[in-house]
Structure 1
Amino acid sequence: MNQSAARPLPQKEKETTTYKILFILGLCHLLNDSIQSVIPAMFPILEKSMGLSFTQLGMIAFSLNIVSSIMQPVIGLISDRKPMPFVLPVSLTVTLFGIMGLAFAPSFEWIILSVLLIGLGSAIFHPEGSRVVYMAAGPRRGLAQSIYQVGGNSGQALAPLITALILVPFGQRGAAWFIIVAAAAVALLFYIATWYAGRLKEASLRTKAKKVVGKGNQGFIKKIKQSLIVILLLIFARSWYLSGITNFYAFYAIEKYGLTIRESQLFLFAFLITGAIGTFFGGPLADRFGKKRIIFLSLIGTAPISILLPFAPPAAAFAMLALCGFILMSSFSVTVVYAQELVPGKIGTMAGLTVGLAFGMGALGSIGLGYLADLIGLPLTIIYTGFLPLLGIMTILLPSDETLAAWNQ
């Protein structure tokens, strides 16, 4: 373990929340995830121009997300051992080449290669970004993580607008506009990396994982492992539902309500933008009322709406999607903070595991639900997907916030 990583932060640093860094990093997260959102936003375009099946569209989403899922925990583990500030601008440089390839890809195979690059860039960005958030958070970890994650979710929420305003009129070549977005993110991340490197010279984050996990108490370690399994199952439920809505609900709305591509994107925008708002409010609410409680209410509160959604008329469906997005995504940043406090000192690893797994589960959901839609039809697939949030009942198996605090003393 790097000796500097074992030294605690000065008390003053721990009590200060550096909002400037948090907001700039949140903006970079928005730019990064808006680029990723181009890919599912292009699905209706690619389905028509290349004649792709739902399964092939699922494979594209799978290719994007599986790289991020596998690499994020690995990069997080490496960064916990040796922080790497200047990989942040490198990450968006990789993404820049991916979006360039996507805009001019002549075939399905080239699209897969391009989205693999975008997924790799995202995998590099997220764990180091979470470490910067932790350093800048001070005592307000829930709020800090929410500022960071709301940037990403806002970027994802732009997907329907990207489709309606850029991809519908310009087609696949419209993705080239995001080369400028990637370049702007690279410039901002150089500033973040410089601040990050300066902080590492002064002091590193306190590493508690050795103290906690290294006690040799096998029963204690078993409880942590069981809790991590529950968290991963909750992420599975949320990610598969998100995948079903973001990748396939537009097709469902077009078929059921007779909407145009542009109109269907407004339904998705309602879901995603309220999801971004829910992400922001989830962190402060968790700081006040407890992380476990917010995670539980997020999933269980979504279930009645998600189950009834496929049977609602258009106006009601629009409102239900908006409410569903807000409630479901209120636990997104909270889950990351809960995992980081469950295994303290492993900031990058836990961020990589939870956020990376969300990408991975979304990837599997994309290809799995795409195959299911080809097999049994899209309407039944959307109906069955609505029952996934019921798995939130498993939250009762997690240790309470008070228990986590006691473990970390």
Structure 2
Amino acid sequence: MASTHVVNDLYQGAIPAMLPLLMSQRHYSYAAVSGLAFAASGVSSLFQPLFGVLSDRKPRSWLVPAGFGTAAFGVVAAGLSGSYLVTWLCVALAGIGIAAYHPPATSEARAAGGSSQKAMSVFSVGGTLGGSLAPTLVTLVIGSMGFASSYLLAVPALVMVVLWVLRGPWMRWRGYTPAASLTTGASAKAAAHDPDRTDDWRSFTRLVAVIIGWSIPFVTVTSMVSLHAQRDLGQPAGAGAAVLTAYTAAGAVGTLLGGWVGDRYGRMTSIRIGYLVALPALLGIAWAPTFPVLVVSTVLFGTAMFLPFSAQVTLAQDYLPNRPGTASGLTLGMAMAAGGLCSPAFGWLADSAGLRTTFYALLAVFIVPALLALRLPDRNVPASPTQSTNSGAEADFARNS
């Protein structure tokens, strides 16, 4: 599952990596590229709750390869298209594919890893690694050979589809049970009478508010930090791609570190530390007078932002134990949509007042979710009978192996 996450988020990261090239080769404005970020992270993310509900009702593992396959097609088509409207529609299609992937994949990863924060961090870091590879891949393919070579970006998805087809029977032979099936049949009836497994919508709503505040600076920094290095600090395009790669790579480190901290000291510790460290790091990005200061601040910000990532996913699923797909869809979809919805506004601000002012405005916005994150309650939901049976089957498989 982590490997599929690498491929899926490779295409999610390819879109912001393409934005500077679109500005230089197709002469798009800040507002235009922010509109593309809106198509990818905003409009597309609104579909994730729908896919979450679908994955809760019935296991639909086919959405995993269909999701990253659609994302690959959208990215390739966006690179080959000529008009802005067609490019926007193709980017939105890629985002819908990404939306289709995340809820079922996250639910299956949670079913496989149980309550372990490290397990969820391994799955999550797959996406972060994919995003960190995207700028380099896009620069090598499009930056060196032009948008006409965009079809080469489809290779990772084609390879993973083949691996998924080969891997599928092995997962079923092991007795693997997707999380979507945990809320059906006898387990659902038992959960309805178990107070420890009731859905806590109030706490979940507060968490969604926190993630909305998290997504706004995350999406905007992802879209604009490379441009910040080039336009404000006079760096070449390669340096801009490097700082974006460093940002997403730092996120991978932060994701794994957050899983370790969550298992050792509690997931609320990783959530609170992440938000408190991210605030001064974002200030450093806005203030950075030189490129090295920008790199250090960006790396620290990426690490801190992803420190609470896996903990937020498992916490959302524990707030809604009877609807893990819905929890994943709403937190990774509807909440993340806020970042894309706000992208055009910050793009217009960047056009009129500059990127530094935009980053300072992000800092002011980010203070609110940081304060809310400090007051989130923890919740540990006991495993369902289906989860226990599945864990026992996997243990038997391990002993027999």
The TM-score bracket by the shorter chain reads 0.7 to 0.9
Task: State the alpha-carbon separation in 2 of the partners of residues 203 and 352 from structure 1.
Answer: 13
Residue 237 (1) aligns with residue 191 (2):
no
Give, in angstroms, the shift of residue 337 of structure 1.
Answer: 0.4
1:362 alignment partner in structure 2: 339
1:329 alignment partner in structure 2: 306
Q: What are the residue-to-residue correspondences of 1:113-262 with 2, within 5 Å?
A: 113-140=89-116, 142-195=117-170, 197-198=172-173, 199=175, 205-207=181-183, 224-262=200-238
Task: State the alpha-carbon separation in 2 of the partners of residues 295 and 239 from structure 1.
Answer: 14
Query: For the structure 1 residues 280 and 388, does the alpha-carbon distance in structure 2 shift closer, same or farther, using more than 3 Å as the test?
Result: farther
Query: For the structure 1 residues 211 and 72, does the alpha-carbon distance in structure 2 shift closer, same or farther, using more than 3 Å as the test?
Result: farther
Unaligned runs of 5+ in 2: 386-401
Q: What are the residue-to-residue correspondences of 1:1-150 with 2, within 5 Å?
A: 25-140=1-116, 142-150=117-125
1:22 alignment partner in structure 2: none
The CA RMSD over aligned residues, in Å, is: 2.7
1:394 alignment partner in structure 2: 372
1:275 alignment partner in structure 2: 251
Q: Which amino acid in 1 is paired with 2:161?
A: V
Task: State the alpha-carbon separation in 1 of the partners of residues 160 and 12 from structure 2.
Answer: 13
Cα pair 2:107 2:180 within 8 Å, conserved:
no
Give, in angstroms, the shift of residue 204 of structure 1.
Answer: 7.3
Give, in angstroms, the shift of residue 30 of structure 1.
Answer: 0.7
Task: State the alpha-carbon separation in 1 of the partners of residues 297 and 338 from structure 2.
Answer: 24
Could you say what secondary structure the match of 1:344 adopts? coil
Cα pair 2:317 2:324 within 8 Å, conserved:
yes
Q: Which amino acid in 1 is paired with 2:12?
A: Q
Give, in angstroms, the shift of residue 98 of structure 1.
Answer: 1.7
Q: Please, what TM-score do these two structures have when normalized by structure 1? A: 0.84
Question: Please, which of 375, 380, 388 is the counterpart of residue 357 of structure 2?
Answer: 380
Give deviations 1:160-209, integer Å, cap 9, x for gaps: 32343332212223432111111112122324544555536899754367
Give, in angstroms, the shift of residue 84 of structure 1.
Answer: 1.1
Q: Which amino acid in 1 is paired with 2:29?
A: S
1:293 alignment partner in structure 2: 269
Could you say what secondary structure the match of 2:146 adopts? helix
Q: Which amino acid in 1 is paired with 2:277?
A: G
Cα pair 2:41 2:337 within 8 Å, conserved:
yes
Cα pair 2:124 2:255 within 8 Å, conserved:
yes
Could you say what secondary structure the match of 1:259 adopts? coil
* Residue range with higher mean Cα deviation, 369-378 or 322-331: 369-378
Query: For the structure 1 residues 190 and 216, does the alpha-carbon distance in structure 2 shift closer, same or farther, using more than 3 Å as the test?
Result: same
% identical equivalent positions: 28
Could you say what secondary structure the match of 2:302 adopts? helix
Task: State the alpha-carbon separation in 2 of the partners of residues 330 and 245 from structure 1.
Answer: 17
Give, in angstroms, the shift of residue 340 of structure 1.
Answer: 0.5
Give, in angstroms, the shift of residue 32 of structure 1.
Answer: 1.2
Give, in angstroms, the shift of residue 212 of structure 1.
Answer: 5.7
Could you say what secondary structure the match of 1:42 adopts? helix
Give deviations 1:201-245, integer Å, cap 9, x for gaps: 89975436766677899xx86xx3331222112112221111221
Give, in angstroms, the shift of residue 43 of structure 1.
Answer: 0.8
Task: State the alpha-carbon separation in 1 of the partners of residues 357 and 179 from structure 2.
Answer: 55
Q: Which amino acid in 2 is paired with 1:322?
A: V
Give, in angstroms, the shift of residue 357 of structure 1.
Answer: 3.1
Residue 353 (1) aligns with residue 330 (2):
yes
Question: Please, which of 295, 302, 305 is the counterpart of residue 281 of structure 2?
Answer: 305
Task: State the alpha-carbon separation in 2 of the partners of residues 203 and 261 from structure 1.
Answer: 43
Cα pair 1:32 1:185 within 8 Å, conserved:
no
Task: State the alpha-carbon separation in 2 of the partners of residues 82 and 60 from structure 1.
Answer: 33
Task: State the alpha-carbon separation in 2 of the partners of residues 100 and 288 from structure 1.
Answer: 42
Query: For the structure 1 residues 203 and 27, does the alpha-carbon distance in structure 2 shift closer, same or farther, using more than 3 Å as the test?
Result: closer
Give deviations 1:338-388, integer Å, cap 9, x for gaps: 010111131211111111135412312322211221233222112221334
Q: Which amino acid in 2 is paired with 1:237?
A: G
Task: State the alpha-carbon separation in 1 of the partners of residues 362 and 179 from structure 2.
Answer: 47
Query: For the structure 1 residues 160 and 87, does the alpha-carbon distance in structure 2 shift closer, same or farther, using more than 3 Å as the test?
Result: closer
Give deviations 1:273-320, integer Å, cap 9, x for gaps: 111111122122112211222111111121122123322332222112
